[in-house]
């Protein structure tokens, strides 16, 4: 049954939607059948509700419309708006495969161009950083649903949020920071924005002389005028708390599953905790909480040692990031993690959240909520919530941002507030119905199974360069 959560929200488009409900597909590829290892019983989590474990899977660089333009009863479109000779005109979006050879611009300047004072019609006027040429119609596309069937199956079997907005209108560096703390303010006025000047590490292991860029509360952009990307170099000591601080303070177990976690490695670009000196420069903390490779999560699930809070960061080739893979392995990667949880004793006590970190330069028709003074909110990104307490085919129209995820984690484990966007965001807890009996897990068919990813050679690719 379709259940739509509706809250008061002003949308800039009215899109007709189908009444057809997508159902989970059956069959699946060889190797996609249920996996039944000799599970140990999981240890107790630290949650204060029926949820004892939160698994946050972070994929890369897609707007909501790029993945769910035609999803039934969600707000999406196949006709966009662009500026041509000073006028706003319609443009048909092209259906594309998930794998793409070109990365689009998705830094703050590109966001402002596309946003165009809330008109959402100038994505064609964004310029590539590499050569300064106009991107033209390239942002105006959406992914063929057949390429991302596992995502559609998850959304139809569980819950899809179609009003999740990226915290800042920027790229992956700040987006991953937002997903461990809800914002990037480092003192009373300035927030980190865009990428550090060196792409070597994105953290405390960056080369000497690396600078961050800042945005002030008056929205003045300070190019390369920020501190070295390590909290020991931030101007106000103790001014940058993350979930690490409050999780550790309450003795709540956590891990950050990430590829190439070695300090200074190219794969570390998506490891948000490499900015946090208390993790990076504390050998015991790093060893206890940074788990590499990311496939270690499978062993922790089957071994009964899944922590209460998990972040799951993909190898670049499984990330949905444009330009990194010749196969659409991202949906299968996510499905393999979801299936591992769903087929384990952890299922009845877990919420799996799948979110895409930033807009990736792709078109989206929905204007963000009222802009704040920290460079956001950014454009819509997808969020899928999988849990035994999520009603089937739930579509939430509640306005969320990444602080909504942080708030849910804080409330689940009674952590208190970090004081970032967690305080001003609506918790995404309204996607779960704790009055219902826990639902039986519905397996997510996919083209590549868990065993494929356990055998897969790490790509060693830099996970983002802009």
Non-local (6+) Cβ contacts of 401 within 8 A are: 164, 165, 166, 167, 376, 377, 421, 425
In the structure, what pLDDT confidence band is assigned to residue 46 with cuts at 50, 70 and 90? low
* Cβ(71)–Cβ(152) below 8 Å: yes
Give the least confident one: 32-36, 138-142, 273-277.
32-36
Phi-psi label, residue 103: left if phi above 0, alpha if psi -120 to 50, beta otherwise: beta
* Cβ(382)–Cβ(226) below 8 Å: no
**212, part of any domain:** no
pLDDT in tens, 279-313: 999 999 999 999 999 999 999 999 999 999 999 99
Which residues form the domain of 156? Answer: 3-77+144-184+234-455
In the structure, what pLDDT confidence band is assigned to residue 370 with cuts at 50, 70 and 90? confident
Alpha-carbon gap, residue 340 to 63, rounded angstroms: 26
Alpha-carbon gap, residue 198 to 264, rounded angstroms: 11
**240, part of any domain:** yes
Does 73 have pLDDT greater than 80? yes
**463, part of any domain:** no
Alpha-carbon gap, residue 234 to 226, rounded angstroms: 9
Alpha-carbon gap, residue 130 to 151, rounded angstroms: 32
Cα of 365 vs its chain's centroid, Å: 19
**175, part of any domain:** yes
Preceding omega of 377 cis (within 30 degrees of 0): yes
Domain count, the chain: 1
**361, part of any domain:** yes
Does 34 have pLDDT greater than 50? no
Alpha-carbon gap, residue 114 to 423, rounded angstroms: 28
**216, part of any domain:** no
In the structure, what pLDDT confidence band is assigned to residue 24 with cuts at 50, 70 and 90? very low
pLDDT in tens, 390-420: 999 999 999 999 999 999 999 999 999 999 9
Alpha-carbon gap, residue 202 to 367, rounded angstroms: 30
**17, part of any domain:** yes
CATH number at residue 170: 3.40.720.10
Give the pLDDT score at 406: 98
Surface-to-core class of residue 461, CB atoms within 10 Å of its CB (0-12 exposed, 13-18 middle, 19+ buried): buried
Give the pLDDT score at 38: 43
* Cβ(54)–Cβ(310) below 8 Å: yes
HEC-encoded secondary structure of the chain: CCEEECCCCCCCCCCCCCCCCCCCCCCCCCCCCCCCCCCCCCCCCCCCCCCCEEEEEEECCCCHHHHHCCCCCCCCCCEEEEEECCEEEEEECEEECCCCCCCCCCCHHHHHHHHHHHCCCCHHHCECCCCCCECCCCCCEEECHHHHHHHHHHHHHCEEECCEECCCCCCHHHHHHHHHHCCCECCCCCEEECCCCCCCCCCCCCCCCCCCEEECCCCCEECCCCCCCCHHHCCCCCCCCCHHHHHHHCCCCEEEECCCCCCCCHHHHHCHHHHCHHHHCCHHHHHHHEECCCCHHHHHHHCCCCCCEEEECCCHHHCCCCCCCCCCCHHHHHHHHHHHHHCCCCHHHEEEEEEECCCCCCCCCCCCCCCCCCCCCCCECCEEEECCCCCCCEEECCCEEHHHHHHHHHHHCCCCCCCCCCCCCCCHHHHCCCCCCCCCCCCCCCCCCHHHHHHCCCCCCCCCCC
- The pair of three-digit structure tokens given for residue 367, joined into one six-digit string: 């204007």
Average pLDDT in the chain: 88
pLDDT in tens, 80-109: 999 999 999 999 999 999 987 778 989 999
Q: What are phi and psi of 101, to 5 degrees?
A: -95, -10
Does 158 have pLDDT greater than 60? yes
Alpha-carbon gap, residue 42 to 54, rounded angstroms: 14
**88, part of any domain:** no
Rounded to an integer, the average pLDDT of 312-327 is: 87
* Cβ(428)–Cβ(383) below 8 Å: yes
In the structure, what pLDDT confidence band is assigned to residue 8 with cuts at 50, 70 and 90? very low
Give the pLDDT score at 194: 96
Give the pLDDT score at 265: 59
Does 37 have pLDDT greater than 60? no
- Give pTM, 2 decimals: 0.91
Give the pLDDT score at 29: 31
| Residue among 6, 2, 105 nearest 359 (CA) | 105
Pairing of strands 141-143, 94-96: parallel
């Amino acid at each position: 049954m379709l259940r739509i959560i509706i809250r008061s929200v002003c949308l800039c488009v009215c899109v007709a939607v189908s009444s057809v409900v997508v159902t989970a597909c059956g069959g699946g590829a060889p190797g996609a059948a249920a996996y039944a290892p000799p599970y140990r019983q999981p240890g107790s989590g630290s949650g204060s509700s029926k949820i004892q474990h939160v698994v946050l899977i972070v994929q890369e660089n897609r707007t909501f419309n790029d993945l769910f333009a035609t999803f039934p009863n969600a707000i999406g479109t196949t006709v966009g708006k662009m500026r041509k000779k000073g006028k706003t005109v319609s443009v048909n979006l092209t259906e594309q495969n998930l794998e793409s050879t070109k990365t689009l611009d998705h830094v703050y300047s590109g966001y402002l161009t596309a946003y165009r004072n809330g008109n959402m019609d100038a994505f064609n006027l964004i310029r590539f950083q590499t050569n300064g040429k106009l991107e033209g119609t390239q942002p105006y596309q959406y992914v063929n649903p057949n390429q991302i069937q596992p995502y559609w199956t998850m959304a139809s079997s569980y819950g899809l949020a179609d009003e999740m907005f990226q915290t800042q209108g920027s790229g992956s560096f700040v987006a991953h920071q937002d997903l461990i703390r809800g914002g990037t303010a480092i003192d009373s006025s300035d927030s980190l924005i865009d990428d550090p000047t060196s792409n070597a590490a994105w953290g405390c292991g960056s080369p000497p002389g690396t600078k961050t860029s800042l945005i002030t509360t008056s929205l003045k952009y300070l190019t390369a005028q920020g501190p070295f990307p390590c909290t020991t170099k931030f101007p106000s000591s103790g001014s940058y708390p993350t979930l690490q601080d409050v999780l550790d303070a309450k003795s709540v177990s956590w891990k950050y599953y990430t590829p190439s976690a070695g300090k200074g490695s190219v794969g570390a670009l998506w490891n948000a905790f490499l900015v946090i000196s208390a993790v990076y420069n504390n050998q015991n903390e790093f060893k206890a909480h940074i788990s590499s490779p990311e496939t270690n999560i499978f062993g922790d699930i089957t071994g009964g040692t899944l922590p209460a809070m998990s972040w799951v960061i993909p190898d670049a080739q499984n990330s949905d990031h444009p330009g990194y893979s010749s196969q659409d392995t991202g949906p299968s990667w996510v499905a393999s993690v979801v299936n591992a949880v769903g087929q384990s004793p952890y299922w009845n006590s877990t919420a799996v959240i799948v979110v895409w970190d930033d807009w990736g330069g792709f078109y989206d028709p929905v204007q963000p909520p009222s802009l704040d003074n920290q460079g956001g909110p950014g454009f819509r990104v997808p969020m899928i919530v999988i849990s035994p307490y999520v009603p089937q085919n739930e579509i939430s129209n509640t306005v969320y941002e990444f602080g909504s995820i942080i708030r849910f984690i804080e409330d689940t484990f009674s952590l208190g507030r970090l004081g970032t966007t967690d305080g001003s965001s609506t918790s995404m807890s309204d996607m779960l119905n704790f009055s219902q009996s826990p639902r039986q897990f519905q397996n997510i068919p996919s083209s590549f199974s868990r065993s494929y990813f356990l055998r897969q050679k790490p790509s060693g690719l830099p996970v983002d360069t802009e």
